[in-house]
Structure 1
């Protein structure tokens, strides 16, 4: 039961990064478009924008209910990063919603807030993922005792940002009339290079990370390279989306059965079983999952079916 819930948690986070990564990626490229065409950039993800965020809400709900100790330890150890991500996410979402509803005045300011919010969210999630991969400086009681930054974390932040930017460029090539073809190849190559560096650094520098992690890392790099110059737009977007979701699955597999690794006192590490709720709670939560997960999938499928036409919807 614990394993199944952990897999569900990973799948929800991976789905969030794969889908919402397009939102953040297109926002990072917003200011490359002429001012008069920036609405088209936002319109590319407009129909899916709020639906993509539902995956994060569902993932946090699963963590809160099924892994309360893990949720508490993560919030304690990564509190500044997660608060910054949350604040940037709120600002980014509000700016996207308000930009076209308050007239033409001040759109440059909203554009700056959209770009800045997306950049902070992408960098913050990169730090978060890198810290989970590299481990945290925890004492025997599980409390953080030092800086979370290490070579892997420092590389992960720009790598994930480049990854979502590449995803945004490929997504715009597929779903928008804004010409971003000149950005697709350099961004996908930059993301591929940085992802490869993170994988190599994790295998060489981090204790407990198996070399087999290089296999899905190599798959992500190959997918990014192919998406940049070979594949058709829809398939290329699927590849970059998969590359955005892969880090969650890679970290879960690389650290299993440890949910929170410690680079300090080994006693501070938290296993998946230790971070989970009791069997009775997990059994009750099965009904929650049976209701929420199909609703999330159905809502997402409905949005994609309703807006399957690639033409942008102006909103």
Structure 2
């Protein structure tokens, strides 16, 4: 395997890690006004992902950095063409951080409620922008022979990209609900499982429609149905079927693994159908960017590979250790009262 191909696959892995890990805390954020019936339960939901959300975002930073270093022309054309959606993604991520950190900084229930609404909106906006952007990368955008964007914002809001955005939101809602079923205790746990059962058929239909559209030809530049794309669709079917069966059997761990597998399978389908291109052109065919022609020099890729080999195991071990330390269930009664709230006195957190 040559280095450009290797780094194309590594970027797919990085996006998989980001969407699987950040997907559940996006889902939890969107579910705040749906599942929580009191402020203490909103605290419980936020604290369920509180120790790991910032580590999850590192995957996005590394994915973006790897694209910039390994395929600079891909990075430049994509970011210039999708400037507005990516700017909105960045704004949502920044505002979301503020909401998580500031929601309990003032002794006023209204302050907390407002920041919780901000958290919900930003948790919806960020994955929507990311999904629309990735879908447009696979679908293709109007580029001229110089790889300059010749379209408008409306070209990015095509039916395929919009379906991808809606499918990802539905899948992340399901992912977040299964995560809460796995990580929370008390009244919230059965409520999350019930909601996940209601979300499951909706997410299944939307993900299946988006996956089949991707496999059968999201872009005119695509090389047809790929073996890896077909495998990805089959894995998504297995993941969704396993999630539905596990939810009915009240096996939250298996249900969460099923939604994680489905997200990973969706990324496999997208990148498999994109290969050997990195950005198809729906305008001038000469504007299509391929893996081979956009890759950095062999020396740059070789240095990046050695850095990845040395650093990646350390990062994975550290993040795995973090998840292990904070693996226990959280309860609304196991934390100090909300600022300005009326929660009972703090008690020991329950484990599982």
Flag whether TM exceeds 0.5 (same fold): yes
What is the aligned counterpart of 2:127 among 122, 126, 135? Answer: 122
- The answer to whether the aligner puts 1:263 opposite 2:282 as a matched pair is yes
C-alpha distance in 2, partners of 1:295/1:223?
29
1:29 match: secondary structure:
helix
- Residues 46 and 73 (structure 1), Cα distance of their counterparts in 2 relative to 1, 3 Å cut: same
What's 1:88 paired with?
92
Q: What is the CA–CA distance in structure 2 between the aligned matches of 1:99 and 1:216, rounded to whole Å?
A: 39
Contact kept, 8 Å, 1:199 with 1:214, in 2: the verdict is no
Match of residue 216 from structure 1: 232
Indicate if the aligned counterparts of 2:183 and 2:327 stay in contact, CA closer than 8 A. Answer: no
**Unaligned stretches of 5+ residues in structure 2:** 337-352
C-alpha distance 314-156 of structure 1, shift in aligned 2 (>3 A):
farther
Please say if 1:248 is aligned against 2:267: yes
Secondary structure at 1:259 match in 2: strand
Q: Structure 1, residues 247-303: CA drift from partner, whole Å, max 9, x if none?
A: 322121112111111111111111112221101111122232133322321221111
Alpha-carbon distance change, 2 to 175 in structure 1, aligned in 2, over 3 angstroms: same
Aligned mate of 2:303, from 270, 278, 284: 284
**SS of alignment partner, residue 63 of structure 1:** helix
Given that 1:170 and 1:233 are in contact with CA atoms closer than 8 Å, whether structure 2 keeps it comes out as yes
| Residue 95 (structure 1) shift | 0.5
Distance 2:235 2:177 in 1: 20
Are the equivalent residues in 2 in contact too, given 1:173–1:180 (CA < 8 A)?
yes
1:226 counterpart residue number: 242
Query: Which of the pair has more CA radius of gyration?
Result: 2
Residue 42 (structure 2) pairs with residue 34 (structure 1)? no
In structure 2, relative to structure 1, the CA distance for the partners of 1:81 and 1:148 (3 Å cut) is same
User: In the alignment, which residue of structure 2 is the partner of 1:68?
Assistant: 72
1:101 is displaced (CA, Å) by 2.9
Q: Distance in 2 between matches of 1:234 and 1:262?
A: 42
* Distance change (3 Å), C-alpha of 1:217 and 1:159: same
Cα deviation 1:139-187 (Å, max 9, x = unaligned): 1111222212322112111111111111000110111121212210121
Q: CA RMSD in A?
A: 1.9
Give SS of 2:11's match.
helix
Deviation at 1:122, TM superposition (A): 1.6
Is 1:20 the equivalent of 2:22? yes
Q: How does 1:138-157 map to 2 (within 5 A)?
A: 138-146=143-151, 147-157=155-165
1:163 aligns with: 171
- Once residues 130 and 232 of structure 2 are traced to their aligned partners in structure 1, the CA distance between those partners, rounded to angstroms, is 19
